[in-house]
Amino acid sequence: MDEVIRKRICFYGGVQGVGFRWRAKCAANAVNATGWVRNEYDGSVTMEIQGTEAQIDRVVQAIGKGLYVRVERTEEKRIPTDPDERDFRTR
């Protein structure tokens, strides 16, 4: 079985007001990943996502396929998992 990990990923570019958080939630639910996503005051979007590396990659790829989403760069950091988390939320 693949290792479950957690990442904090910050997305920059045209990422607010384009359905980014909705797409992230749908993609995470489709692969059974957990975590949350929120808009930041600087126009970026932060996501903490927990699952296997493959699940996380699939979610990020799905987000990038959004019609109006324009990710110019990301910052990614591996962080401790949350064993009590059960779903993916929009904050």
**Domain 5-90: CATH architecture, name and number where available:** 2-Layer Sandwich (3.30)
Looking at residue 65, its pLDDT comes to: 86
CA–CA distance, 68 with 57 (Å, rounded to integer): 20
- To the question of pTM greater than 0.75 for the whole model, the response is yes
Looking at residue 22, its pLDDT comes to: 95
Domain boundaries, the chain: 5-90
For the chain (91 residues), the mean pLDDT of every run of 10, in chain order, is 93 94 96 98 98 97 89 97 96 93
Active site residues: 21, 39
> How many CA atoms does the CB half-sphere of 22 hold within 13 Å?
8
Looking at residue 1, its pLDDT comes to: 66
Count of beta carbons in the 10 Å neighbourhood of residue 73:
9
